[in-house]
Amino acid sequence: MNAKVDLPGHAQYPTLFSPLDLGHTQLRNRCIMGSMHTGLEEQPDGFERMAAFYAERAEGGVGMIITGGISPNEEGGLVLKGEDGKPLAAASKLNTEEEAAGHRIVTDAVHNAAPDCKICLQILHMGALAYNEGAVAPSPVRSRIGAFSPNELDEAGIEKQIVDHAHCAKLALQAGYDGVEIIGSAGYLLSTFLVEKTNQRTDQWGGSYENRMRFPVEVVRRVRETVGPDCIVIFRIAAMDMLQGGMSWDEIALLSKAVEAAGASMISTHFTWHESQVPTIATMVPRRAFTGVTKRVRDEVSIPVITSNRINMPDVAEAVLVDGDADLVSMARPMLADAELMKKAAEGREHEINTCIACNQACLDHTFAMKTTSCLVNPRACHETQLKWGPATVTKNIAVVGAGPAGLAYATVAAERGHAVTLYDAADEVGGQFNLAKQVPGKEEFHETLRYYRAMLEKYDVTVKLGQRVDADQLSDAGFDHVVVATGISPRVPQIPGIEHEKVVGYIDAIKGNKPIGKRVAVIGAGGIGFDVTELITHEGTSSALDINLFAQEWGVDFENHPRGGVTGVEPVINKADREVWLMQRKETPVGRGLGKTTGWTKRLLLNRRGVNMVNAVDYVRIDDDGLHVLLGGQPKTFEVDTVILCAGQEPERSLFDALEKKGLSVDLVGGAFEAVELDAKTAINQATHLAAAV
Ligand code: FAD
Ligand code: NAP
Ligand code: SF4
C-alpha cells in the first residue's frame, strides 16, 4: 500500500477539499464514497477483504465511506442457506454482538489507514425486495422485480423493525463506525411505506401522507435516540423516484424536514427505485444529471445534503458544489475504478484518474448475478488482497503487440513493475476497438479510459510505436525476452450466399462512416455490437448523454415541474433518424436478452421506442438486389433493405501468435486474440492485468 497522504486540497478544487463541520465531528473534505454491495459481505474472509478494500479508499483521500448495505435483521436481507437449510452467518446482517466484532476489522483498518476518514454503516432493510421468503412490507404488494410476495407487517412487526434499526445502529457504533446511513429509497422497506401503491394500509402507518411518512421518520428518531448526539446519522431519500404515481415534490420536501427534525445529521439524495424505467446511473445518463433535484431538497433543510449519480471526476464534483446544488458529493463506482481519485485530484494528477465509465459490467451486473463486485477498468477493485504487484525481481525487455484494452492493460502494469515495454499497434492511435465504442452515442465516457491509458504509457515510459503492423520476423530480430500478443479479433463474416453483395457493410465501416447506410437496414447479429450499431444508425442529433434536457425529453422526465416521481404524465420525446431497421438474430430467445442485466433494458427500451424491429429465430438464406431473404418459422420472407450490416461476432486474430510460437519465442496471448467468444473489455483487461502482475 502507498504511504499515508496529507491532503492539502488542490487549488483547482477548493470547495471539494474544504472540510465540513458537523458540530460533533468534522469531515476532511466534501467527497463521500457512496454505498455499494461488494459481494464480499457474504464471503468467509469477507471482513478481511472489505478491510483492505475500504482502507485503500481511505488512504486514497475520500472524506467519508458508506459501507454496502447491511440488514438490521434476517427478514430484511439476503439469506444464504447452508446444506442443512439453516441460514448462514453473513456479514450482510448486523444484529448480534458477534457480527459487530467482525465489523471491527473493517473500521480499524479504515481508521488506521486515515484517522480523519469517517466510515458509516449503511442500514439496508430490503423490505419487499429481500431475497427471502420471510420478506416483509407495509402491504403484501409484490414488486415488479421482487423474488417473493412480502408478508404484511402487523403493529408488533412494525415496532420490531424500528427496534431492529436502532439496535443495528447501536451495534455499528460498538463496531467502531462513525455513524450510520439509513436507506429510505430505491423500493426498500422505508420507501415502500411512503408510496401509495406499496402502502395500502388503513391504520396509523398508511392512508394519509402524514401516516405513510410515520415509519421512516420514526426509524430516524429512534436511531438518533439510541446512538446519542455524537453519531452521524444520514437519511437516504428518493428525491425523484422515477415512478409513475411516485412521490410528489411536496411530499419529498415534507419528509426532508421531518427527518431533519427527527435527528438526521445529513440527507443523501437518491434517484429512482430499482423498478423504475428511467436509467439513472448508466453511461447514457449525462454527468451530474440529477444534482438540480438535490438543490431543491437543500433549499428545504438546514442540515448538509449529499448528491450523487454520474459524478465521476473532480471537476464535475467541484462544479456541483460551487453551483450550490449540494454540500457534499457521493461517488460510489468512481471509487471502484480508482481508489486514489481524491489523492490524484489533490496532487494535480487528474489526468491519471482511472475514470468510471458507468458501464456497470463488473459492479452492478456482478451484484445482481451474486458475483463479487469489481470494475471493468480496475480489476483490483474488491480483489485487493489477491491481485497485487510490486517491482519485478527480474526485469525483461517485453514487446506488446496490439494497443487495445488488453495490450494497454498489460503494457502499463508490466512497465509500472519496471519491465522495459515496447507497445506496437497497426493503427495510428491506441485503443483498439474502444476507438469504435467511443463513437457510439451514450458511450462518450470510453474516451476517458483511453486518456487514462495514454497518461499511464507516458508515466511508465512505455515505448509506443503506432502505425506499425509487426510480424514474427521483426519481433524475433528485435531480440525481445518476451512477446505478448494482444492483436484482438477479426469480425466474423457469416457464410450467407450473396455476402459479397455491395449492400453488405461490416460494423467497422458502418461505425467509421466509411460506407453509406441506406434508409432500410438489416443488422445481422444482435449482440452488444449489433445493439450499439443500431443505436448509432437510428440516432438523430446531439447525444443525449451530453445534454441533460435532451436526456430528460428522451426518457420522459420533468425536472422543472417535478410531477409525481418526476415522470407521471410525461411522454418521452422520441428523436430518431429517418430509417427503418431490423435487428436480427438466429437464436429463439428474445432479442437483447444477453445484454448486461442493469443496462440491457435501457438499450432494448430505447430502440423499441425508436421503432426498431427486433427479429429472432431468423434463418438467413441469401442477400441480393431485392434485399435479405430469410426463413422465419420455416416460411420464406424478404426484407427489402438497402443495406445489410454485419455484426455477427468475431474470430480471434492469432496468426502472429502461431508464427511466434513456431519460432520458439517466449509468448503470451491475451484478450480477443486469446478467446473471441463473449470477450469483452472486462475480460480482456482482467486477463492482461493478471498476466502482467506475474511476469
Ligand atoms: P482490440 O481492442 O481488438 O485491439 C487489438 C489491437 O491490435 C488493434 O488496435 C489492432 O490494430 C492491433 N493489431 C492487430 N494485429 C496487429 C499487428 N500484427 N501489429 C500491430 N498491431 C496489431 N466491450 C465491453 O466490455 N463493453 C462495451 O461496452 C463494449 N462496447 C463495444 C462497442 C463497440 C462498437 C465495439 C466494436 C466493441 C465494444 N466492446 C465492448 C468490445 C471491446 O472493445 C473488446 O472486447 C476489446 O476491445 C478487446 O480488446 P483487445 O485488446 O483484445 O482487442
Ligand atoms: P456477441 O455478443 O457474441 O454477438 C454476436 C451476434 O452475432 C449474436 O447476435 C449472434 O446471434 C450473431 N452471430 C454469431 N455467429 C453468427 C453467424 N455465423 N451468422 C449470423 N449471425 C451470427 O458479439 P459482439 O456483438 O460482436 O460483441 C463482442 C463483444 O463485445 C461481446 O463480448 C460483447 O459483450 C462486447 N460488447 C459489449 C457491449 C456492452 O455494451 N456491454 C457492447 C458492445 C460489445 P445468433 O447466433 O443468435 O445469430
Ligand atoms: Fe464504473 Fe464500469 Fe467500473 Fe462499474 S465496472 S465501477 S460502472 S467502470
The verdict on residue 197 lying in a domain is yes
Q: How sure is the predictor about 89, in pLDDT bands with cuts at 50, 70 and 90? A: very low
Domain boundary, last residue among 348, 368, 388: 368
Name, in order, each residue with C-beta under 8 angstroms of 549's C-beta and a sequence gap of 6 or more.
none
Same domain, 255 and 318: yes
Q: Give the pLDDT confidence score for residue 80 in this predicted structure.
A: 58
The reply to whether 586 and 679 lie within a common domain is no
Range of the domain at 100: 20-368
CA atoms within 13 A on the CB side of 210: 1
Q: What is the pLDDT of residue 9?
A: 56
Number of the ligand 2 atom closest to the C-alpha atom of 587: 47
Looking at residue 3, what is its pLDDT? 45
pLDDT band at 17 (very low <50, low <70, confident <90, very high): very high
pLDDT value of position 568: 96
Q: How far is the CA of 407 from the centre of ligand 1 (A)?
A: 9
Nearest CA to ligand 2 atom 3: 649
Q: Return the ligand 2 atom nearest residue 443 CA.
A: 40
User: What distance in Å separates the CA atoms of residue 93 and residue 331, rounded to the nearest whole number?
Assistant: 24
How far is the centre of ligand 3, averaged over its atoms, from the C-alpha of 286 (Å)? 15
> Could you tell which of 281, 308, 354, 363 is best to mutate to test the pocket of ligand 3, judged by most ligand atoms within 8 Å of the CB?
363
pTM: 0.95
Tally the domains of the chain. Answer: 3
Strand duo 179-184 + 232-240: pairing: parallel
Q: Is residue 357 part of a domain?
A: yes
578: amino acid identity, one letter: D
What CATH number corresponds to the domain at position 445? 3.40.50.720
pLDDT number for residue 1: 40
> Burial level of 22, CB count in 10 A (0-12/13-18/19+)?
middle
- Cα(519) to ligand 1 centroid in Å equals 29
234 closest CA partner among 273, 286, 178: 178
Distances (CA, A) of 440 to 94, 206, 619: 44, 47, 28
pLDDT by residue (tens digit) across 207-239? Answer: 999 999 999 999 999 999 999 999 999 999 999
In a domain, 546, yes or no: no
Model pLDDT, residue 182: 98
Mean residue pLDDT across the chain = 95
Catalytic, 188? Answer: yes
CA of 376 to the centre of ligand 3 (A): 6
In a domain, 107, yes or no: yes
Q: Is the pLDDT of residue 499 over 80?
A: yes
Indicate if 673 and 630 belong to the same structural domain. Answer: no
d(CA 162, CA 126) in angstroms, rounded, equals 14
- Centroid of ligand 2 to alpha carbon of 527 (angstroms): 4
Whether 450 maps to a domain, the answer reads yes
Residue 536 lies in a domain: yes
Percentage of residues of the chain with pLDDT beyond 70: 97
Q: 122, 54 in Cβ contact below 8 A?
A: no
Candidates 377, 448, 452: which one to mutate for ligand 3, based on the most atoms within 8 Å of Cβ? 377
Ligand nearest the Cα atom of residue 449? 3
Closest ligand by atom to 333 CA? 3
Residue 568 inside a domain? The answer is no
Tell me: do 220 and 264 sit in the same domain: yes
Residue 70 and residue 138 in one domain? yes
The domain that contains 514 carries what CATH number?
3.50.50.60
Is residue 166 domain-shared with residue 244, that is, in the same domain?
A: yes
E strand residue ranges, 487-544: 489-491, 504-506, 520-524
Q: For residue 547, tell me if it sits in a domain.
A: no
pLDDT number for residue 254: 98
Q: What is the per-residue pLDDT for 83?
A: 57
Atom 6 of ligand 1: nearest residue by CA position: 402
| Catalytic-role residue among 13, 54, 177, 188 | 188
Ligand nearest to the CA of 365: 3
Helix (H), strand (E) at residue 409: helix 405-416
- Whether residue 612 is found in the same domain as residue 661: no
Please tell me whether residue 491 adopts helix, strand or coil conformation.
strand
Q: What is the number of the ligand closest to the CA of 675? A: 1
656 close to ligand 1 (CB < 6 Angstrom): yes
Task: Indicate whether 628 and 665 sit together in one domain.
Answer: no
* pLDDT confidence band for 131 (50 / 70 / 90): confident
> Could you give the CA distance from residue 584 to residue 647 in angstroms, rounded to a whole number?
10
Cβ 336 under 6 angstroms from ligand 3: yes
**Are 303 and 225 in the same domain?**
yes
In terms of domains, do 186 and 236 share one? yes
Q: CB of 671 closer than 6 A to ligand 1?
A: yes
pLDDT of 6 strictly over 80 = no
**Tens digits of residue pLDDT in 147-188:** 889 999 999 999 999 999 999 999 999 999 999 999 999 999
Same domain (yes/no): 533, 467? no
Q: Is 327 found in the same domain as 423? A: no
Q: Name the residue of 585, 628, 646, 682 whose CB sits within 8 Å of the most ligand 2 atoms, as the mutation to test its pocket.
A: 585
